[in-house]
Amino acid sequence: MKPSRLARDAIVLRRAPFSETSQVVDLLTPDDGRLSVLARGSYRDKSTFGGPLDVLTRGVADVQRRKRSELDLLHGFKITQPWRGLRRELTTWLAASHALELVRAFAWPRDREPALFDALAGVLELLDRARERYEIEAYLTSFAGRVLAIAGFVPVLDACVRCGGDVADAKRGWLSLAQGGLLCGSCSTPDRTAIVCSDGVVRLLRRALGGAPDATPGTAWTETVVSEARRAIDLYVEYRLERPLLSRRLLDRAERSPSREPVA
């Protein structure tokens, strides 16, 4: 039988106050998926946590699972990676928050998904060191593709999703949010959810959604292609979730008026 109390590698996805002295924290773990835990007394001066827990930190969580409650107990959290670089600028912070929102949307409670944990830890490491907007967009594009692939929501990109016609050599494609894939020119007209994508964007989407991590700096993709592909994936995610991604709106706004202000 699995012991109920174990030390787990974990990334903090979300935290909220719970009474005056405690927090409820969402953790992503490799073996138990998303866990909601109660950190009793984390706001107290002399708590065992050494202060309230913060999002976008990785650590070893001492978690006690509770069978009859959706809320497990957190007895300790030893930070192993504070990801200070993510806090340096607003854009980087919002990009990392966007990665968290994608994970929160697709990580089911208590569902084992080590690939998702590795993908999140990986993109946060990259964003922690990223300086240029291009890099940030590239990492987010690859990451969003990876999350969709893990969650099993990959759109059909190798043929027209409606008629099965050829879309391989088209100069542009129409990504239908409603039908979940690319449309050929003749099928695109009646679909109001279709986003026009250049052939570069379609090629990049194919690679990102196929798991290729190559929308990275130094590769041949232009800034525009990477940025448009990121946007297309995000719109696709929003359509599947039937709700907007708040972090995407904030990130878009910050990118239009870049600020060099540190976050905290």
- In this structure, the number of other CB atoms found within 10 A of the CB of residue 16 comes to 9
Residues with Cβ within 8 Å of 255's Cβ and at least 6 positions away in sequence, in order, are 91, 133
Nearer to Zn ion by Cβ, of 86 and 184: the residue is 184
Nearer to Zn ion by Cβ, of 71 and 163: the residue is 163
Residues with Cβ within 8 Å of 176's Cβ and at least 6 positions away in sequence, in order, are 161, 162, 182, 183, 188, 191, 193, 194
Residues with Cβ within 8 Å of 141's Cβ and at least 6 positions away in sequence, in order, are 204, 208, 215, 226, 229, 230, 233
Query: Which among 13-21, 122-130, 158-166, 219-227 is the span making contact with Zn ion, rule CB under 5 A?
Result: 158-166
Among 100, 126, 160, 237, binds Zn ion (CB under 5 A): 160
157 binds Zn ion (CB under 5 A): no
Closest CA to 99 of 81, 112, 86: 86
Q: Which of residues 167-186 bind Zn ion (CB under 5 A)?
A: 184
Nearer to Zn ion by Cβ, of 85 and 173: the residue is 173
96 binds Zn ion (CB under 5 A): no
Nearer to Zn ion by Cβ, of 192 and 260: the residue is 192
Nearer to Zn ion by Cβ, of 106 and 174: the residue is 174
Secondary element (H or E) of residue 207: helix 199-209
Taking the complex as a whole, the smallest distance from the CB of residue 180 to Zn ion amounts, in Å, to 14
245 binds Zn ion (CB under 5 A): no
Binding positions for Zn ion, rule: CB under 5 A: 160, 162-163, 165, 184, 187
